[in-house]
């Protein structure tokens, strides 16, 4: 079952690729095809080899009345090898044309791979611009763990969430967190709708037909799974935190309780997180609240997490906010490193409680060890089922051990090294890997170097050990 689903992220068949790559190549550069996947241990076909994207310019036109999306993606990338062809991950939708460096390019689609063959081969190191025009009704994907992701229609619009690979349902790209890029996303919608994405709103322009174009700018690198686009009759609020971080939140009309619930503490949480983890990593913060029932989860879309319905628990808001440091700024190298996202975001919930008169992190840690569901309702879960650094398969990367045992790994470090060294470690980790990508091995090496402690036992028992830690 899992294997079949994995191959949903299929590479072009050998035959199709052969058909594209035989024949004469360019005059001076002799390229070879870029790889159709980045060999991620859990999603081997996600992403593509041979290039790194610097910038995506997405120009989207969406009409909620008929669910049709017209898109133009301009992808600026650097070739890491001489390329005769390269792949983009793209699911559904019709491709209407592809150009590379302004010249028409041949292309071929197999499964979720769009293979592009430029008129001339690209040289290693060359910065090249690919434009893809496309249209259609985007459809969501169902993940191996049963969750829905990608472009999802809501009761009054649409929202895009992309963990791990759903962003390929609304734009072609290198859909693996190992290739982060800057984004400019412009969304044009009919009168009466707001369109929200990541970063800062640069302009809002109405055309003669009453359609409005919202131009969003994200200069900081972003993994494509964190890109979002949300369309709906949102009520928008803006502001600034006391230290000057911009705020832009969009809330569905039926979810106005968000404005007085836990989300109202977001500015305070941003300041708290900056004190605990170091400066907030983006120019703005906020939230997108879509109608309840749209999704079965919240997602830490960059700068502006998506919540399905007004959040009712502070922990959830703190969790998605904490991901801005852990996951969004400091991103995983592969999906195997997911515990570095979720362990830290869960530990942030414990720290928030500890700092605001709730249970201490030590009490949470003990509650999980003893299964005390009075302290945390998930303490009775099978948090020990597998080591957080080695989920058994792709369906497990969002399972309890990745979150709770991941957080317990962090608390074990704190127990070993004490508060002063622990929080210096956390702030150093965030500062030294700001807007970068990290692996578990990077973390364990960094933790030992930064604290000066031998933490091998913690790694062996809590991070990698198969048995339930005692
Ligand atoms: Zn999370």
Domain layout of the chain by residue ranges: 2-232, 331-463
CATH class of 2-232: mainly beta
Structure tokens, 240: 């600034």
d(CA 217, ligand 1 centre) in Å: 24
> Residue 82 contacts by C-beta under 8 Å, 6 or more apart in sequence?
29, 30, 31, 32, 121, 122, 123, 124
d(CA 320, ligand 1 centre) in Å: 6
d(CA 345, ligand 1 centre) in Å: 6
**Which residues hold their Cβ within 5 A of ligand 1, which is an ion?**
342, 345
d(CA 36, ligand 1 centre) in Å: 28
CATH number for the domain whose boundaries are 331-463: 1.10.390.10
d(CA 331, ligand 1 centre) in Å: 12
d(CA 203, ligand 1 centre) in Å: 31
d(CA 342, ligand 1 centre) in Å: 5
**What gap in Å lies between CA 288 and CA 274, rounded to an integer?**
21
**What gap in Å lies between CA 382 and CA 86, rounded to an integer?**
42
d(CA 318, ligand 1 centre) in Å: 10
Structure tokens, 371: 């299964």
Closest CA to 106 of 23, 224, 14: 23
CB atoms within 10 A of CB 406: 26
d(CA 465, ligand 1 centre) in Å: 23
**130, 114 Cβ separation under 8 angstroms:** no
Cα dist from 229 to 33, 272, 356, 377, whole Å: 32, 28, 33, 33
Give Cα 51 to chain centroid, integer Å: 20
**85, 34 Cβ separation under 8 angstroms:** yes
d(CA 344, ligand 1 centre) in Å: 9
Cα dist from 26 to 17, 54, 121, whole Å: 17, 24, 5
**251, 237 Cβ separation under 8 angstroms:** yes
Structure tokens, 219: 């200069």
> Which pLDDT does position 176 carry in this prediction?
98
d(CA 3, ligand 1 centre) in Å: 25
Q: Where are the beta strands (DSSP E) in 300-352?
A: 306-308, 331-332
d(CA 93, ligand 1 centre) in Å: 29
d(CA 463, ligand 1 centre) in Å: 18
Side-chain half-sphere of 43: how many Cα atoms within 13 Å?
28
d(CA 395, ligand 1 centre) in Å: 15
d(CA 266, ligand 1 centre) in Å: 16
Cα dist from 338 to 310, 361, 406, 409, whole Å: 26, 21, 9, 14
d(CA 430, ligand 1 centre) in Å: 17
d(CA 73, ligand 1 centre) in Å: 29
Relative to beta strand 331-332, strand 437-438 is parallel
Stretches in the chain below the pLDDT threshold 50? 1-26
Structure tokens, 420: 């002063």
**What gap in Å lies between CA 30 and CA 21, rounded to an integer?**
11
């Amino acid at each position: 079952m899992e294997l079949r689903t994995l191959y949903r992220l299929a590479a072009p068949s050998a035959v199709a690729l052969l058909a594209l790559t035989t024949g004469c190549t360019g005059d001076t550069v002799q390229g070879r095809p870029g790889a159709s996947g980045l060999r991620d241990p859990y999603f081997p076909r996600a992403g593509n080899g041979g290039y790194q994207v610097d910038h995506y310019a997405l120009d989207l036109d969406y009409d909620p009345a008929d669910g049709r999306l017209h898109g133009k993606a301009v992808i600026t990338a650097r070739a890491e090898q001489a390329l005769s062809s390269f792949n983009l991950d793209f699911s559904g939708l019709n491709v209407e044309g592809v150009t590379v460096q302004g010249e028409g390019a041949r292309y071929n689609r197999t499964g979720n791979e769009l293979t592009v063959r430029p008129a001339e081969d690209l040289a290693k190191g060359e910065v090249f611009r690919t434009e893809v025009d496309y249209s259609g009704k985007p459809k969501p994907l169902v993940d191996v763990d049963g969750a829905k992701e990608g472009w999802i229609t809501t009761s009054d619009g649409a929202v895009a969430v992309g963990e791990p690979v759903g962003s390929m349902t609304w734009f072609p790209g290198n859909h693996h967190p190992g290739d982060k890029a800057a984004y400019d996303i412009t969304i044009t919608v009919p009168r009466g709708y707001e369109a929200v994405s990541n970063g800062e709103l640069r302009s809002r322009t109405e055309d003669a037909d009453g359609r409005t174009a919202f131009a969003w700018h994200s200069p900081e690198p972003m993994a494509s799974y964190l890109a979002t686009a949300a369309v709906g009759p949102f009520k928008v609020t803006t502001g600034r935190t006391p230290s000057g971080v911009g705020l832009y939140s969009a809330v569905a009309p039926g979810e106005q309780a968000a404005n007085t619930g836990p989300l109202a503490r977001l500015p305070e949480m941003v300041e708290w997180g900056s004190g605990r983890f170091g400066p907030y990593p983006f120019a703005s913060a906020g939230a997108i609240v879509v109608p309840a029932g749209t999704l079965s989860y919240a997602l830490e879309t960059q700068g502006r997490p998506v919540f399905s319905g007004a959040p009712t628990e502070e922990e959830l808001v703190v969790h998605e906010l904490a991901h801005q440091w852990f996951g969004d700024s400091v991103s995983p190298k592969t999906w195997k490193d997911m515990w570095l996202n979720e362990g830290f975001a869960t530990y942030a919930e414990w720290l928030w409680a500890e700092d605001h008169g709730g249970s201490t992190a030590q009490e949470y840690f003990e509650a999980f060890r003893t299964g005390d569901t009075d302290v945390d309702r998930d303490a009775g879960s099978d948090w020990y089922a597998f080591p957080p650094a080695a989920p058994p398969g792709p369906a497990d990367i969002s399972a309890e051990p990745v979150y709770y045992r991941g957080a317990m790994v962090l608390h074990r470090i704190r127990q070993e090294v004490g508060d002063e060294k622990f929080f210096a470690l956390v702030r150093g980790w965030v500062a030294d890997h700001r807007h970068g990508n990290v692996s578990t091995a990077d973390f364990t090496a960094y933790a030992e170097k930064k604290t000066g402690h031998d933490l091998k036992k913690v790694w062996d028992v809590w991070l990698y050990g198969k048995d339930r830690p005692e």
